Amino acid sequence: MKKTTIEEQKKVELNNPILIEGFPGLGMVGSIATKYLIKELKAEKVGTMYSPHFPYHVIVNKKGGVRLLRAEFYALKNESGKNDFIFLTGDSQAQTIEGQFEVANTILDFAEEKNVKTIITIGGYRNEFERKPKIVAVSTTPELFEQAKKAEALPSEAGTPIVGTAGLLLGLAKFRNVDALCLLGETKGYLPDPKTAKGIIEVLQKMLEITVDLKGLDKDIEKSKQILGRMQDIEKRRAKYMQNIKKVEEEKITYIS
Amino acid sequence: MKKTTIEEQKKVELNNPILIEGFPGLGMVGSIATKYLIKELKAEKVGTMYSPHFPYHVIVNKKGGVRLLRAEFYALKNESGKNDFIFLTGDSQAQTIEGQFEVANTILDFAEEKNVKTIITIGGYRNEFERKPKIVAVSTTPELFEQAKKAEALPSEAGTPIVGTAGLLLGLAKFRNVDALCLLGETKGYLPDPKTAKGIIEVLQKMLEITVDLKGLDKDIEKSKQILGRMQDIEKRRAKYMQNIKKVEEEKITYIS
Amino acid sequence: MKKTTIEEQKKVELNNPILIEGFPGLGMVGSIATKYLIKELKAEKVGTMYSPHFPYHVIVNKKGGVRLLRAEFYALKNESGKNDFIFLTGDSQAQTIEGQFEVANTILDFAEEKNVKTIITIGGYRNEFERKPKIVAVSTTPELFEQAKKAEALPSEAGTPIVGTAGLLLGLAKFRNVDALCLLGETKGYLPDPKTAKGIIEVLQKMLEITVDLKGLDKDIEKSKQILGRMQDIEKRRAKYMQNIKKVEEEKITYIS
Amino acid sequence: MKKTTIEEQKKVELNNPILIEGFPGLGMVGSIATKYLIKELKAEKVGTMYSPHFPYHVIVNKKGGVRLLRAEFYALKNESGKNDFIFLTGDSQAQTIEGQFEVANTILDFAEEKNVKTIITIGGYRNEFERKPKIVAVSTTPELFEQAKKAEALPSEAGTPIVGTAGLLLGLAKFRNVDALCLLGETKGYLPDPKTAKGIIEVLQKMLEITVDLKGLDKDIEKSKQILGRMQDIEKRRAKYMQNIKKVEEEKITYIS
């Protein structure tokens, strides 16, 4: 394997498929949302992507097996709607600039071959906030952008950079016969964030003809809330301690200056 | 897109065109000056350069759109003078050594195709100073260098390195049928520096047959002065605080040693 | 030399050879174990691998000679057993992602050419522990994994990443006509660790039809124990010193807050 | 220029030429010695090497000119001896692993074309010492090594790594029809070190049939001694200051613990 390659395990006839991509990134929003959709909607594995630009380690499986880092394509026939789906998620993003471009181009080649006309990428953007996470949208076409806004996504601020595959797929889509939308969920970013992933799926449900049971995510949200609470306690105590030290120093200085 | 490519949006007949390049760098001097010239002189967009060596993110536009990082070529017919102009500015420089050489060579290929015989690159060089920023010149030919000195640019110190596209274009020009000049403006470098950009444009006005209204830059200069003032206040207070701490330590030590 | 190449010094007819790989890594477990096997079993040098992805320095030999960094293949005819052996060890791993993949693929090409059907890679995994080091196994096939468990290797935790050549060889093996097993020894990792290397060889002895005299390793283990003891003394004194400083600070703070 | 290239400015007939290489490195020993030889022996510039693996900046000349980073070949007819010489020095080493290998291979191609049978590379190795700097030698052949020892070079310790072009040329020479010797001078390494460069030239004089006036280097040695003296004064005062602070801290702690 000298370059990024996709191994197709199964050929499925898909009807106007939409590709939904979620790779690991800030708050793992993209991969949590996409993996949840794959599981809940029972999408079927159809392909695997390997790349010499993924990190050079392998991962141990449950039964003592081992595998290269990879990305996986899953297909979903959606008889009730007008679009079928391809989901794409993976272990890691490419590790170099050139690798990022190669991986994004390989995905677009595959999408074109499968007659995909619409791509939706999912990611997170960092913010400190306490309310419900915002979901913002950017798109290569006004039509897709309007659909996302109708589904309660907000416009993104101009100038925001979108790093990695979620962004490059949109940037490179304009050279291809494909439209693309990126949904970015607000996240603190330092912990896996199922709450923001849920926000993304809520937008997707309104946009696309899919129904997803979100109870599984609610359990994960509860767990991550507890972890976060404990971390914040520790942080508060540390901050108090640092403040006391600073007070000591300042009193000394006031005395002298 | 596997290598740096230029997409030509419009074919314009240009008469002895001079290429003026200003990419982001120290104090953003090159890009501020070039973008101001494009806007004030109403140059017309003619081409876009993309590169897999630019950073792998995309940028969000005002209307929820999105685009790859890029550089742009603008053309200006200058009926009153003997040279037309091509301006080149961009979002970013290439991120690797090999990418820097590829981007510079692609620009030179384009310049040769357009029959460019003279290139002027713009950049900043770092210095701490309070007076009017100096503009220094280096060139591949004595003739261009003399023209720049007549326009009140100063000679640069021998040995100065000129990093990035502004420098490489000159270094590589000698292998091509093209002359090149680099104007470097003195800048503190840590903030966008419209004052130094103005100094560059003043030299260009004297050298070339162009007239530019500089009032728009004066507003930006005023704004950046205020920001700098505030930052310096903060820095002074911090320095005083550190000095007090040091005094405390030294008194203790004097006592013991 | 523009890419990774193997120079074959000697052609040996090998019977169902097993390739055993141990490159430098955590605790030098892989290279210590493999070099010890080569020496004790008197394996014969048959090939040298060079790569422009190894670090760009050369190493001075005993007699004022000098050589590129390299990896070496050694062959062992094992008349009493059903498998012969090829051992592979080297000075260094490849230094870039792309280099890691190229080196691993070159090794696999060589293995296929020599009709190798089984590869065993050796490495370390970091842990703080005081007991006998654990040896864990992962494999591309259940059969090899079971053999390792019978030889008292433990199953590895799912999700563990295996970095570098020891891991990539397994990941890439599935695209080839070859099975692979990785044995990882628990190590503190910051010093060459002959004790863990010995644990690996004990597993190999049980798995394969080889007998190795381990006395040479015992001497090295004794030496490394003394070095470690001295380092731990220094560390303890440093920790006590830091704790005292902290106590001073905390008393001050308790007083004020 | 997409890869390392040599531009030949002048064709000279050379008789059994020896190539002497000195690139910038520790203490600038290689480039100081080689440049001094070029100047004193009045060698003639015959070629220039450019590489996209050199750093991506250009250097300003005295007259406002500018040039790419480069390496230069100089030739010397040595009528009185049995070997002519080619000297090679440059502004910089290649900046990436792959670039280092490409540059070294390009030099070897050029050497073979010029019928060079012997290469001598020059560098520094770091050490803290007060006496006369040692010069050590390593070589691809016992004959060259013996010649260097007769010229009072010492054998190098086994295991020493020789980083960069000075080392790679030897490592790669064995794949070519050329012998190579590396002379490394002991240097503190953090300042240009003409004293060690002189030591290298003294060895070269004994080995080769050349006579070099060393007075020019003596002036530089005197200057660098004064700079070093001043730096050591500053360092001593700083060390005393740090010790006093430590004493203060320790007294506090002794009191509490």
Tens digit of each residue's pLDDT (9 = 90 or more) over C32-56: 999 999 999 999 999 999 999 998 8
β-pairing, A44-50 vs A5-8, is antiparallel
Helices (H), chain B: 29-40, 97-113, 142-150, 165-173, 194-207, 215-256
Report the pLDDT value the prediction gives residue C249, as an integer from 0 to 100: 55
- Poorest-pLDDT segment among A237-246, B74-83, D194-203, D245-254: D245-254
Q: Identity (one letter) of the amino acid at A217?
A: L
Torsion of CA B120, B124, B127, B133, to 10 degrees: 70
State how far the Cα of A141 lies from the Cα of A148, in Å rounded to an integer. Answer: 11
Which residues in chain C have their CB less than 8 angstroms from residue A61's CB? 138, 158
Query: Taking all residues of chain B, what is their mean pLDDT, rounded to a whole number?
Result: 87
Banded pLDDT at A249 (limits 50, 70, 90): low
State how far the Cα of D70 lies from the Cα of B218, in Å rounded to an integer. Answer: 42
pTM over 0.95: no
Q: What is the CA radius of gyration of chain C?
A: 21
Reading the block at residue A227, the tokens are 């972890």
Read off the pLDDT of each residue in D196-213 and give the average, rounded to a whole number. Answer: 90
Report the pLDDT value the prediction gives residue D131, as an integer from 0 to 100: 84
Query: Taking all residues of chain D, what is their mean pLDDT, rounded to a whole number?
Result: 87
State how far the Cα of A204 lies from the Cα of A201, in Å rounded to an integer. Answer: 5
Q: Is the pLDDT of residue D81 over 90?
A: no
Banded pLDDT at A80 (limits 50, 70, 90): confident
pLDDT digits (tens, 9 = 90+) for C180-205: 899 999 998 778 899 999 999 999 99
Q: Is the pLDDT of residue B20 over 90?
A: yes
Which residues in chain B have their CB less than 8 angstroms from residue A252's CB? 248
pLDDT digits (tens, 9 = 90+) for A193-224: 999 999 999 999 999 988 889 998 999 899 88
Q: Is the pLDDT of residue A255 over 50?
A: no
Please indicate whether residue C256 or residue A58 has the higher confidence score (pLDDT): A58
Q: Is the pLDDT of residue D120 over 70?
A: yes
The helix/strand/coil state of B245 is helix
Q: Quick check: C105 and A247 CB within 8 A?
A: no
Of A55, A58, A64, the CB nearest to C97: A55
Report the pLDDT value the prediction gives residue B254, as an integer from 0 to 100: 47
Banded pLDDT at D246 (limits 50, 70, 90): low
Of B53, B54, B58, the CB nearest to A170: B58
The helix/strand/coil state of B66 is strand
Banded pLDDT at B256 (limits 50, 70, 90): very low
Which residues in chain D have their CB less than 8 angstroms from residue B167's CB? 56-58, 66
State how far the Cα of B197 lies from the Cα of B30, in Å rounded to an integer. Answer: 7
Banded pLDDT at B255 (limits 50, 70, 90): very low
Reading the block at residue C257, the tokens are 């807050």
Please indicate whether residue D238 or residue A3 has the higher confidence score (pLDDT): A3
In Å, what is the CA distance from A59 to each residue of A33, B161, C168? Answer: 22, 46, 10
On whether the CB atoms of residues B144 and B168 are closer than 8 A, the answer is: no
State how far the Cα of B170 lies from the Cα of B178, in Å rounded to an integer. Answer: 9
Query: Taking all residues of chain C, what is their mean pLDDT, rounded to a whole number?
Result: 87
Q: Is the pLDDT of residue B252 over 70?
A: no
Reading the block at residue D70, the tokens are 């480069």
B231-243 b/e with 16+ CB inside 10 Å = b?
eeeeeeeeeeeee
State how far the Cα of B42 lies from the Cα of B76, in Å rounded to an integer. Answer: 8
Report the pLDDT value the prediction gives residue B253, as an integer from 0 to 100: 47
Nearest to D36 by CA among D201, D257, D147, D158: D201
Which residues in chain C have their CB less than 8 angstroms from residue D253's CB? 241, 244-245, 248
**C→D interface, C-beta within 8 Å:** 1-2, 52-69, 95-96, 99, 241, 244-245, 247-248, 251
Which residues in chain D have their CB less than 8 angstroms from residue C244's CB? 253, 256-257
Percentage, residues of chain D above pLDDT 70: 93
Torsion of CA B49, B51, B54, B58, to 10 degrees: 80
Reading the block at residue D38, the tokens are 């070029």
Report the pLDDT value the prediction gives residue B189, as an integer from 0 to 100: 79
Q: From C159, which residue of chain A is nearest by alpha-carbon distance? A: A60
Q: Quick check: A56 and C97 CB within 8 A?
A: yes
State how far the Cα of D29 lies from the Cα of D194, in Å rounded to an integer. Answer: 7
Which DSSP symbol is given to B27? Answer: G
Read off the pLDDT of each residue in A130-151 and give the average, rounded to a whole number. Answer: 90
pLDDT digits (tens, 9 = 90+) for D7-65: 999 999 999 999 999 999 888 999 999 999 999 999 999 999 999 899 888 888 777 78
On whether the CB atoms of residues C88 and C34 are closer than 8 A, the answer is: yes
Read off the pLDDT of each residue in A48-76 and give the average, rounded to a whole number. Answer: 89
State how far the Cα of C94 lies from the Cα of D221, in Å rounded to an integer. Answer: 41
Report the pLDDT value the prediction gives residue C255, as an integer from 0 to 100: 44
Q: Quick check: A160 and B60 CB within 8 A?
A: yes
Residue for token pair 């260098």: B145
On whether the CB atoms of residues B21 and B34 are closer than 8 A, the answer is: yes
Q: Quick check: B160 and D59 CB within 8 A?
A: yes
Nearest to D102 by CA among D73, D86, C94, D110: D110
Report the pLDDT value the prediction gives residue D108, as an integer from 0 to 100: 92
Q: Is the pLDDT of residue A166 over 60?
A: yes
β-pairing, D44-50 vs D71-76, is antiparallel
In Å, what is the CA distance from D140 to each residue of C51, D101, D165, D175? Answer: 19, 18, 15, 11
Instruction: ipTM value, please give it.
Output: 0.70
Percentage, residues of chain A above pLDDT 90: 48
Read off the pLDDT of each residue in A146-172 and give the average, rounded to a whole number. Answer: 87
Ranges under pLDDT 50 in chain C: 253-257
pLDDT digits (tens, 9 = 90+) for D212-229: 899 989 998 998 888 878
C43-55 b/e with 16+ CB inside 10 Å = b?
beebbbbbbbbbb
Q: What is the DSSP string of D206-252?
A: HHSS-----HHHHHHHHHHHHHHHHHHHHHHHHHHHHHHHHHHHHHH
Q: From B176, which residue of chain D is nearest by alpha-carbon distance? A: D1
pLDDT digits (tens, 9 = 90+) for B169-191: 888 887 888 898 999 999 987 78
Report the pLDDT value the prediction gives residue D255, as an integer from 0 to 100: 43
Q: How far is C-alpha A89 from the geometric centre of its chain's CA atoms?
A: 8
